[in-house]
Amino acid sequence: MKPQSLLDYLRERSQVSSDTLDAQIVESLGPFVDNTSNQAIAYGELAKAKHADLLRDAAATAQKFKDSSELQLTDVSIAELAIEIATIRLCLLIVPHVTNCVHVQVNPIHSYSTAQIIINAERIISLFSLIAPDFSPSRVCIKVPSTWEGLRACEVLEQQGINTLATTLFCMEQAVLAGKSGCTYIAPYVNELKVHFEVGYIDPSPNFQLCVEAQKFYAKEKMKTKVLAASLTSVKECAQLSGIDCITIAPALLDGLNGTDVEVLEKEGGEEYASYFNESGTKVDGNVDSFGMDYWSNITEEKQWRQSFKQRNDGRELIKLEEAISIFRNEQAKLEDLVAQYI
């Protein structure tokens, strides 16, 4: 059957995931492959008055788990634990409307600690098992910031059988290390995260090329890692990524895609929606070696990797990463203030 909307068209060429914790939205436009979330999305949903009882229950459950000598939760606060429990409960409401994984992001305060990220990820998996014993942990994906420490943590977690997604990813140095670490997904941010937080800010150079380069690189190196594009700002950007492995889309853009007739691609101006990917999933004129470097040689040692990352685009990609982590830390703090009302 010929696709009727741009959302149908996109689903024919890529795996489409929802970027929300609103189960009603996922149900109305689903099913989706995965469902992604982060601290900003969690705060936006949990701050709704309808979730007061959920937060109250999460706080009580957190206290119960904290008091249990069997769980060994001495290094996590009640607020942090309650946030994770509340987020997991929202994810479980979404599970019936996705065919694969629900994604939960580790606390961004741990972005530069491999050990703390591992502890946090393992705790999230354990909490899923405690809250929903019949739910398979294989359907959970842990989102980890793409710092050196975060990607090293991903390697350990993947070896334990825990799915990981390398998020806040802006350049090939991060993408290659994520592939070597065995990440299930990477999430290249097509636009800087601050486009969603600073009114009027527009990313001057959306990073479509990174999506193309990473997907070609993984295919060339026969890596399992899939590219899941994130941080999109328009229906047009979503259409331009048709053919990418995976894409996660916020509710407003899902509505826009669903409400746009696929015939827009054939009308005057339709070339503006043309994809960066051809039918085989790679850009026609893309070149894996366009960065002019041997990616592998730059990630064999931490010092080499950090230096290469620091120099990429005159340091701009490192700044984007640091800004994104800062934004998520602020959102985590807002979540803790919200939960504190129920503790």
The catalytic site residues sit at: 143
Q: What contacts 289, CB < 8 A, 6 or more positions away?
A: none
Other Cβ atoms less than 10 A from the Cβ of 122: the count is 15
- Residues, the chain: 343
Decide: helix, strand or coil at residue 45.
helix
Helix or strand or coil: residue 178?
A: helix
Of 219, 215, 238, the closest CA to residue 227 belongs to 215
DSSP conformation letters of 146-184:
-SHHHHHHHHHHHHTT-EEEEEEE-SHHHHHHHHHHT-S
Tokens of 258: 């669903």
- Helical packing angle, 316-340 and 78-94, nearest 10°: 100
Would you state the structure tokens that stand for residue 180, as one six-digit string? 């070597």
Q: Which residue has the tokens 């070696």?
A: 289
Amino acid identity, position 221: E
Contact 321, 146 (CB under 8 A): yes
Find the radius of gyration of the CA atoms of the chain. Answer: 20
The pair of structure tokens assigned to 224 is 């399992």
Residue reference for tokens 């334990």: 160
Cβ neighbour number for residue 117 with a 10 Å cutoff: 27
Could you tell me the two tokens for 48?
């709704």
Buried/exposed code over 39-52 (b: 16+ C-beta within 10 A; e: otherwise)? bbbbbbbbeeeebe
